[in-house]
Structure 1
Amino acid sequence: MTSHPTPPPTAPRIAVFGSANMDLVAYVPTAPRLGETVTGSAFRTVPGGKGANQAVAAARAGGAVTMIGAVGADAFGPQLRTSLAESGVDTSGLRTCDEASGIAHIVVDGQGSNSIIVVPGANGTVTGLSAGDEQRLAATDLLLLQLEIPLPGVLAAARAARAHGVRVVLTPAPAQPLPAEILAATDLLVPNEHEAAALTGRSDPAEAAAELLTTVPEVVVTLGAAGSLYATRGAEPVYVPARKVTAEDTTAAGDTFVGALAVAAGEGRTMPAALAWASAASALSVQRRGASAAMPHREEIDASTATPASATPAETD
């Protein structure tokens, strides 16, 4: 077992309420079309799930992280739990249920792009808080949420966090209509450009962000290789460029970004500085294969940001 240092007492306290999946990853030169069979070049079984991915990313980036969710009583359950623990994540809130563990079938092509099918399994049982969950949330500074668990569970966690003054960060993925109650309990919304368009009907990221600000106080729209866009009420949006790298595998790049962003924001950095640091973490992750296995540790992120990219005002139409 790999040993990882314990976060310092001053590390941002982060809870992740979300999914844990086993990723079944096939690598192919070209992704198959409907009805087509292709020969792959490699296959890997990698712990993943958007919740677990964000937890690992935040822990490796220096956060004191607690994971709340569910795994199955099958062979994947202990593997998922061990993977989180080895990255320094507290798994006392990760329950075991009778359902099979969640899985994701992922196809990665020769350009590093991917397509994913998620089967929720145990994640589908997380419809609310379990014993001790509210206390776990109350003891943190920031809560990370995604949409790979049922919306009632997301709402219950957001409400509990808000009641205890914990900042709520929501990644609206997979994209779906969001109840007003969830948005009302969200402090920072972090969609990618496709999710932002799905939520607003606007293809321009700056326009989408402006519309989202009518429901949440802060928005970060991630733009892949183009960087990210930060918008808050009463201020001009800010564009933060991405690091220029050659992608090997983009799986979990967004989760790496959010996990690192949570740590940087929890440390009190300005949002442009936090976004630049998170972008560096994401850039490191896409140069490696896999999801959680590709996520960088804090020392690597710090080393890659010795000369950080500067933020510039975003262009709007």
Structure 2
Amino acid sequence: MDLVAYTRAAPHRGETVSGREFRTVPGGKGTNQAIAAARAGGAVAMIGAVGDDDLGPRLRAALEGAGVDTAALRTVHGPSGIAHIVVDDDGGNSIVVVPGANGTVTGLAPGDEERIAAADALLMQLELPMEGVLAGARAARARGVRTVLTPAPAQPLPDELLALTDLLVPNEHEAAALTGHHVPRRAAVAFLDLVPEVVITLGEAGSLYAARGVEPFTVPALPVRAVDTTAAGDTFVGALSVAAGEGRPMADAMAWAAAAAAHAVQRPGASSSMPTREEIDTLHTTTQLQDAR
């Protein structure tokens, strides 16, 4: 659950500032990507855990309300995961994640391998223990299912996980932390020694694609005024995975995902800000027509 405080500027260490609004919004990178993909038209099942506290039923209901299958979402004793988020007037954010129930997902439960095997793609993030992420990646690779990894929160990645990843989608800060290269194109090229494809999200500068044997290219972001950038990257990944699963060329899939992210940053909240497929299609088509003029 995202506990979101909106304020003019985020406090510095030791400083107290006044906020203008507070919201609780279902979030977490896994939930965000699941809801984004479902609203973008994907058929989505969620593997994870919530606690038996007051937040657990709300998180489950948010997923189900977006059309996500929660049969594999476990309920465990203890608190659900939470994120303390401060959003400033420029739409920027700072986040502290407390894993809670997420920390119990150290492997797959009965039926999870079959769910993964039936999918076109497995979307993974790093808010679960690494053992759980690796278990999912191994199951996907064994069944020939495409794996998409968002390496966030940024941390050293095991060689095995990288070897099991088909598409890596870091943001520019995560890419720099993982490769030591602060120029995104250099970071992308470095990643290709480890994974076959990478998309680095660049915020207002769009996104950068690189693959082995392909000249890297950038797809621009849409020029909009950001209200809250929380979950913009997750919205992008969810929409990108749906578009790629439909067989769209990567450049078009990235542009479609950029339209989804542009919608999301114009609204407050994480999962509550994510657009429907119709909204994405409309903005994407409008942008293409404007570019053609």
TM-score (norm 1): 0.90
1:132 aligned onto 2:98? no
Aligned partner of 1:3 in structure 2 is: none
Query: 1:236, 1:30 → 2: CA distance?
Result: 40
1:181 aligned onto 2:144? no
Q: Return the match for 2:228 from 244, 249, 257.
A: 249
Query: 2:90, 2:8 → 1: CA distance?
Result: 8
Q: Return the match for 2:263 from 275, 284, 290.
A: 284
Q: How many residues align?
A: 289
**Identity across the alignment (%):** 70
Query: 2:162, 2:287 → 1: CA distance?
Result: 32
CA contact (8 A) 1:141 1:166 kept: yes
Q: Return the match for 1:272 from 246, 251, 261.
A: 251
Give structure 1 stretches of 5+ with no counterpart: 1-21, 311-317
Letter in 2 for 1:42: E
Q: Return the match for 1:92 from 68, 71, 81.
A: 71
Aligned partner of 2:4 in structure 1 is: 25
Query: 1:309, 1:160 → 2: CA distance?
Result: 39
Query: 2:158, 2:107 → 1: CA distance?
Result: 16
For residues 64-100 of structure 1, the C-alpha deviation after alignment (integer angstroms, 9 at most, x for no partner) is 0000000000000000000000000000010000121
Aligned partner of 1:314 in structure 2 is: none
Aligned partner of 1:64 in structure 2 is: 43
Give structure 2 stretches of 5+ with no counterpart: none
Give the secondary structure class of the aligned counterpart of 1:101: coil
For residues 129-184 of structure 1, the C-alpha deviation after alignment (integer angstroms, 9 at most, x for no partner) is 01111011011110000000011110000000110010000000000110000000
Query: 2:91, 2:244 → 1: CA distance?
Result: 29
Query: 1:255, 1:189 → 2: CA distance?
Result: 13
For residues 35-71 of structure 1, the C-alpha deviation after alignment (integer angstroms, 9 at most, x for no partner) is 1111100000000000000000000000000000000
Give the secondary structure class of the aligned counterpart of 2:194: coil
Query: 1:33, 1:177 → 2: CA distance?
Result: 27
Query: 2:175, 2:8 → 1: CA distance?
Result: 30
Aligned partner of 1:200 in structure 2 is: 179
TM-score (norm 2): 0.98
Query: 1:283, 1:307 → 2: CA distance?
Result: 13
CA contact (8 A) 1:276 1:309 kept: no
Q: What pairs with 1:1-317 in structure 2 (closer than 5 Å)?
A: 22-308=1-287
For residues 102-123 of structure 1, the C-alpha deviation after alignment (integer angstroms, 9 at most, x for no partner) is 0000000011100000000000
Q: CA deviation at 1:264?
A: 0.2
Query: 2:165, 2:126 → 1: CA distance?
Result: 13
